[in-house]
A and B are shown apart, each in its own frame.
Chain A
């Protein structure tokens, strides 16, 4: 039972990392209609930056904040390349984000090398229900909860958040009322960079990160985001937590080599069941 609880908490923490990646994907897709396959790269850039900044002697806290800012600027630059040119279709933008993700490998290797990097997170552990839980795991879970609450409040309650949602809902109408849809898209990419950055600095102390870690992150984050239909952050969070827990359980019970495949297989089954349930409802409302 203790093992199960330990794997569960570990899985929730890992799932929270995927959830932050997924929330970035959802934020960009909601506003621009673009699936940003460079989203995992933002986490990698933040993780590597934080590790490097700590190595230069910058204190904890400041290093992580600076790394998140670097990821935010990276998000903005990615947005400029992906949607900055008027008339670029979401499909073309998707290909551009894939290209940026590949190009980023070369830059990351040039700047930080090809070896995995990490840095110490919150030290120590606390006992919950008789189970020792790393403080860093709790930090990841708490930070993700706060981030999702803030995101929900931002999109649901603020004027800017509603304007961003309006761009996704009807870009033509948004332009009619004077909203600059491209600027809003760039803002969404910057937000995606910020969320990816938060994921990077939180997850790197748990799992060393290297230039190609973005593949694991984007595959899991994308699966979670699709679970939320690329538009619903709450469902994406549920999907990400399911993935994280499934991976942790698989690794804990001796299937570490197949943890990603098992988790994604489970997610696929859930999505197939979901779609067969949704089918008749869609037909009724069509």
Chain B
């Protein structure tokens, strides 16, 4: 985010996430250990961490796929989740993938997604499995939007994508956050991207939140800078 820009006020109230003392286990292994996390309405918050830190476990718990062992997860509003690795339905067309995204909202017509992402309108009859990584991520993004979410959890937006494609998708995300007040939890390993578009961030390591605060402050932290920024920070311009 360019610091000289003044973000416009959100046009509507987004959803919220409130996670308190969350413990999630896989058998005897603890994936999340008393995690506390809060995302306010209209905020865009990053969750950083290395592989195996428990980020995707948290996303799956927020979307109700996993059941916590203890603790609470409260989501205000409808939550949509863009899972790690896109997770499309490869044998179905782009249009079918999108319309199935409206399973919860009963929204069947993807026209408003085509307005948001015009490239998808051109690909509507193609099978999702034959698209490029960037196009698939766009479909995953559009599929999530079909549920008319108040909160969007994006798990590894940049995974396997070219920097230019990542920037385009991040720009869409920022626009939705600023113009429509969509609350976003951006789960990323790419700290430069996350710090460039989010206001606050949490750092998750081995299932525990080890740092949290405004992105600018976290970027100054020697521990965060050395672990996630290679020792220095350059903001991603969106």
Contact = CB atoms under 8 A, between A and B. Distances in A.
B137 interface: no
Interface in A154-205: 159, 162-163, 165-166, 169-170, 172-179
A177 B147 contact: yes
A173 B103 contact: no
Contacts of A169: 89-92
A174 B99 CA distance: 12
Contacts of A179: 100, 103
Contacts of B110: none
A184 B100 CA distance: 14
Q: Which applies to chain B's interface (DSSP): helix, strand, loop or mixed? A: loop
B78 to A, nearest CB: 9
B100 A163 contact: yes
Contact of A177 (B90, B91, B92, B104): B104
A179 B103 CA distance: 7
Contacts of B91: 165, 169
B87 A166 contact: no
A177 B88 contact: no
Given A159-B99, A177-B147, A165 B81 contact: no
B65 interface: yes
Contacts of A170: 87-90
A174 B83 CA distance: 11
Contacts of A176: 63, 65, 81, 83, 87
B87 A165 contact: no
A173 B89 CA distance: 8
Interface residues of A, number: 15
B230 to A, nearest CB: 32
A162 B90 contact: no
Nearest to A86: B67
Interface string B100-124: 1101100010000000000000000
A162 B81 CA distance: 20
A163 B103 contact: yes
Name the residue among A159, A165, A170, A176 with the largest chain B CB count within 10 angstroms: A176
B143 interface: yes
Nearest to A167: B89
Contacts of B63: 176
Contacts of A175: 65
A163 B96 CA distance: 9
A166 B99 contact: no
Nearest to A175: B65
A173 B147 contact: no
Contacts of A172: 65, 83, 87
B83 A166 contact: no
Contacts of B96: 162
Given A172-B83, A176-B65, A166 B100 contact: yes
A48 to B, nearest CB: 38
A165 B89 contact: yes
A285 B108 CA distance: 34
Interface in B18-57: none
Contacts of B108: 159
A173 B83 contact: yes
A159 B143 CA distance: 15
A177 B65 contact: no
Contacts of A159: 99-100, 108
A173 B91 CA distance: 13
Name the residue among B63, B89, B104 with the largest chain A CB count within 10 angstroms: B89
A19 to B, nearest CB: 22
A222 B116 CA distance: 47
A179 to B, nearest CB: 6
A177 B143 contact: yes
Contacts of A165: 89, 91-92
A55 to B, nearest CB: 46
Contacts of B89: 165-166, 169-170, 173-174
A166 B128 CA distance: 12
Given A163-B100, A178-B147, A173 B88 contact: yes
Contact of A166 (B65, B92, B104, B147): B92
A270 to B, nearest CB: 25
A173 B96 CA distance: 13
Nearest to A166: B89
Interface string A240-259: 00000000000000000000
Interface of A: 159, 162-163, 165-166, 169-170, 172-179
12 contacts: A162-B100, A163-B100, A163-B103, A166-B89, A169-B89, A170-B88, A172-B65, A172-B83, A172-B87, A173-B83, A173-B87, A177-B103
A-B pairs, 4 with minimum CB distance: A173-B87, A178-B104, A169-B89, A166-B89
Given A169-B89, A172-B65, A177-B101, 7 more contacts: A159-B100, A170-B87, A173-B83, A176-B65, A176-B87, A178-B147, A179-B100
